[in-house]
């Protein structure tokens, strides 16, 4: 697996990452969602550099222009609900992509231990396509790996891009050990060193789903 931390380079992405972390800016749900959307757009642009391209021609009002166009079929897959604003950002750039959605959540038991429950998955065929699996937070890595295995019921992708703006060191290491190594890329915006005993990322940003769409019961 090839790991790229986009936050290691100075760009406006770092501002958006800082703002989704900021407890005062987080109070504005629209701003929080829009920042995630903008992060998704930046991630999509960077991932686009890894796609395959074909030569093409377009007719302008004055003649014919040569250009290079993406040739891959793309499926954007998102873990609900925290990934939705991020997904929108990707879709702004990959507007011809097909889309998949997975409902997953933690079910806690004793001693803060939990299982990942997958209750819903809608997905087109991913056979031979480029799969971009999107989740705002990469904590333990278990939910992302489980979601990937679920998506494989719909075919084997040619390449896989995992997009997680905020990741934990443990989550990165888990995916490195448990994801296939051929044509798999992990894209992050920041890597935090600590997980709490409930597997929350520190400093992280809190519950991305609640910050984007309000508290749940």
CATH of the domain at 165: 3.40.50.2020
Q: pLDDT truncated to tens, each residue of the chain (217 aa)?
A: 999 999 999 999 999 999 999 999 999 999 999 999 999 999 999 999 999 999 999 999 999 999 999 999 999 999 888 889 999 999 999 999 999 999 877 666 676 676 777 778 999 999 999 999 999 999 999 889 999 999 999 999 999 999 999 999 999 999 999 887 789 999 999 999 999 988 899 999 999 989 999 887 6
- For 199, half-sphere exposure in the C-beta direction (CA atoms, 13 angstrom radius) is 18
Q: State which residues form the domain around 172.
A: 2-213
Per-position DSSP letters for 118-166, written without gaps between them: EEEEE----TTSEEEEE-SEESSSHHHHHHHHHHGGG---SEEEEEEEE
Q: Give, in degrees to the nearest 5, the angle at Cα 105 between 145 and 74.
A: 50
Distance, in Å, from the CA atom of 85 to the CA atom of 34, rounded to the nearest integer, reads 7
pLDDT at 112: 63
Q: How many domains does the chain have?
A: 1
pLDDT at 106: 66
Residue 78 token pair: 């998102």
Distances (CA, A) of 103 to 75, 82, 84, 143, 193: 17, 10, 11, 10, 27
């Amino acid at each position: 697996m090839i790991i790229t931390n986009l936050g290691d380079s100075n760009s406006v992405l770092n501002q958006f990452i800082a703002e989704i972390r900021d407890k005062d800016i987080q109070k504005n749900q629209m701003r929080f969602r829009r920042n995630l959307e903008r992060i998704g757009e930046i991630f999509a642009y960077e991932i686009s550099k890894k796609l395959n391209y074909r030569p093409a021609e377009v007719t302008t009002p004055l003649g014919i222009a040569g250009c290079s166009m993406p040739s891959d079929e793309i499926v954007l897959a998102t873990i609900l609900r925290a990934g939705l604003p991020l997904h929108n950002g990707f879709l702004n750039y990959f507007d011809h992509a097909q889309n998949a959605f997975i409902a997953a959540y933690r079910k806690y038991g004793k001693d803060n231990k939990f299982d990942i429950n997958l209750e819903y998955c809608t997905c087109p065929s991913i056979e031979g396509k480029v799969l971009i699996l999107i989740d705002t937070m990469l904590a333990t890595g278990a939910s992302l790996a489980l979601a990937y295995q679920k998506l494989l019921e719909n075919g084997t992708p040619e390449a896989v891009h995992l997009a997680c703006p905020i990741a934990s060191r443990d989550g990165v290491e888990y995916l490195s050990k448990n994801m296939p190594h051929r044509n798999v890329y992990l894209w992050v915006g920041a890597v935090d060193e600590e997980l709490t005993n409930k597997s929350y990322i520190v400093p992280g940003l809190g519950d991305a789903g609640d910050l984007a769409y309000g508290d749940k019961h």
